[in-house]
Structure 1
């Protein structure tokens, strides 16, 4: 995992822990976190902006290997159908995930 990915994950974990008390997790079923939260009349919680395209990193979580949930990100447009988390020494896109909405 490169330094950029480690920084993103650290920011996601901090923001997710702070926002969790006033937020809820919703199943994504392959949709972007933006759409999932909008469907519940809520806003998707973000952890920053991707400098390449200016789109926000939406906070999500996934349970790779069924070893417990890990915080990650969901990014439109190309990476909006998965939650990207650190797992097994790599960044992996997980198709079954939840989005953090407020």
Structure 2
């Protein structure tokens, strides 16, 4: 019998339903609900092929949110961090060059020129 263990223990996620974590399962169900809702909402107005593409495009962001991680953050943690850094608390970082060698020898260089 072999038990699989992740090399990095922090990457462990417990499987709840169909091999998915609870978070992935919830977002998958949400994606399915969005796709079904879009189908019934748009079916009277468009053809089958167009409606199927709209369902895919409408459900894809919700499905992706359950699986995306970036630098160890979930999608909503990343979106909140981006929102804070870009809109709520933006900082302007300025670079001011300094030449330590010139500063150390400034008096001698200016004294020799005069």
TM-score of the superposed pair, with normalisation by structure 1: 0.29
Higher share in helix: 2
Greater RCO (CA < 8 Å, at least 6 residues apart): 1
Compare CA radii of gyration and give the structure with the larger one: 2
